Amino acid sequence: MKITQGKIVNAYRALLRLSEQQLPLPVAYALYKAKKALDPQWQFQLEQEQKMIAECKGVVDNGSVTFPDDDARLEYVKKALELNEMETEIEVPEIVLSEDSGLSLSVNEIDALDGIIEIEG
């Protein structure tokens, strides 16, 4: 499946939130497999963000990043947008869930997992 880095990040974050739910074993295992498949690209994202922050002379403090000036901040934003638009080929197991799977999803989670999770009636 060809997918953008930004979509991978959003899907991974949604899977992290869902991993907190107690779910039936088949559902939990399917979500685990999807999260595991996305993990290398998630790690790549984290590495690239750290490099971009360093290149733009950003300082991380309690999860917030500050830059020395607006030009540095704008350069970081430009690089981050380019990274998020980067497409990659990745094998993610498609998850087919029934409506009664016990999984609760927000609209944002459904959007983030579109193409990875299919819900059948």
State the pLDDT at residue 29.
Answer: 93
Domain spans in the chain, listed from the N-terminal domain onward: 2-120
As a whole number of angstroms, the distance between CA 121 and CA 119 comes to: 7
Given a cut of 80, whether residue 121 has pLDDT beyond it is no
Given a cut of 90, whether residue 101 has pLDDT beyond it is no
As a whole number of angstroms, the distance between CA 79 and CA 114 comes to: 25
- Reading the block at residue 39, the tokens are 């993990």
State the pLDDT at residue 31.
Answer: 92
**What band does 104 get if pLDDT is binned at 50, 70 and 90?**
confident
The pTM of the full predicted model, rounded to 2 decimals, is 0.87
Residue the block writes with tokens 């790549």? 44
For residue 82, the tally of other CB atoms under 10 A from its CB is 12
DSSP string, the chain: -EEEHHHHHHHHHHHHHHTTS---HHHHHHHHHHHHHHHHHHHHHHHHHHHHHHHTT-EEETTEEE-SSHHHHHHHHHHHHHHHH-EEE-----EEEETTSS----HHHHHHTBTTEEEE-
As a whole number of angstroms, the distance between CA 47 and CA 34 comes to: 21
Amino acid residing at 53: I
Return the higher-pLDDT residue of 93 and 81. Answer: 81
State the pLDDT at residue 17.
Answer: 93
